[in-house]
Amino acid sequence: MKCEVLALLPARLRLPDTTERAAVDTMPAPRLALFLNPWGASSFSRHLPTLLAEARRHGYDGVEMSLSDLGPDAAARRATCDMISDHGMRLILGLYSGWDDYEGPWAPSSPGAHVAQLEQQLKQAERLGSVVTHVNVHSGCDSWDERGAMRYFNDALPLTSAFLEANPHVGAATREVDTHGSQPTHLTGLSHETHRG
pLDDT at res. 42: 57
The number of CA neighbours under 13 Å toward the Cβ of 22 is: 3
Report how far apart, in Å, the C-alpha atoms of 70 and of each of 40, 78, 102, 119, 159 are. 10, 8, 16, 18, 22
- Tens-digit pLDDT profile for residues 27-83: 666 678 899 988 765 566 678 899 999 999 999 999 999 999 999 999 999 999 999
Cβ(84)–Cβ(60) under 8 Å?
Answer: no
pLDDT at res. 101: 80
For the chain, list the domains and their CATH numbers: 34-174+184-193 (3.20.20.80)
Instruction: Return the ∠ at Cα 164 (arms to 88 and 190), rounded to 5°.
Output: 70
pLDDT at res. 2: 33
Would you say the pTM of this structure is higher than 0.85? no
pLDDT at res. 23: 54
- Tens-digit pLDDT profile for residues 149-192: 999 999 999 999 899 989 988 987 665 555 556 555 455 789 99
The answer, yes or no, to whether residue 21 has pLDDT greater than 60, is no
